[in-house]
């Protein structure tokens, strides 16, 4: 089995030596997505909910480029700057993951790239 690098211009380009996602067989592993607007390269303005919305839009585009979608996500990891933002992040998250929720880990971290408030990565089947 050979890995395939996934890339789409509809999501932010990597800001380091990594790929947006890697596909291996019928699995896709995304890198952590942050709330960068692909067209501008700037961090989406707003609170944690607004930033989560942009993160999930970015993840949606990467998953689509790999041939899958949120219905096929089996695991997410959510990194947040402030655990106090847990509830508003979940409100946005529930708009994208509506049933048969994937497994998930959520971790508060000291700092994220570009000082964003949230980063999410996922694993999905194709």
In which element (H, E) is residue 124 found?
Answer: strand 118-125
Is residue 122 among the annotated active site residues?
no
Q: Which residue in 27, 49, 106, 123 is the catalytic one?
A: 106
Strand partners, 22: 5, 29
**CA 109/CA 3 separation, integer angstroms:** 30
Q: Pick from 34, 125, 25, 13: which is nearest to 78 by CA? A: 34
> Would you name the residues annotated as active-site residues?
106
């Amino acid at each position: 089995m050979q890995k395939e690098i996934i890339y789409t211009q509809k999501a932010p380009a990597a800001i380091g030596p990594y790929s947006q996602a890697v596909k291996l067989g019928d699995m896709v592993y995304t890198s952590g997505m942050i709330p960068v607007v692909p067209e501008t390269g700037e961090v989406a303005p707003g609170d944690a909910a607004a930033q989560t919305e942009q993160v999930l839009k970015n993840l949606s585009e990467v998953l689509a480029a790999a041939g899958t979608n949120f219905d096929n996500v089996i695991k997410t990891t959510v990194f947040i700057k402030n655990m106090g933002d847990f509830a508003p992040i979940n409100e946005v998250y529930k708009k994208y993951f509506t049933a048969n929720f994937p497994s998930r880990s959520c971790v508060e971290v000291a700092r994220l790239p570009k000082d964003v408030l949230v980063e999410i990565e996922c694993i999905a089947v194709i």
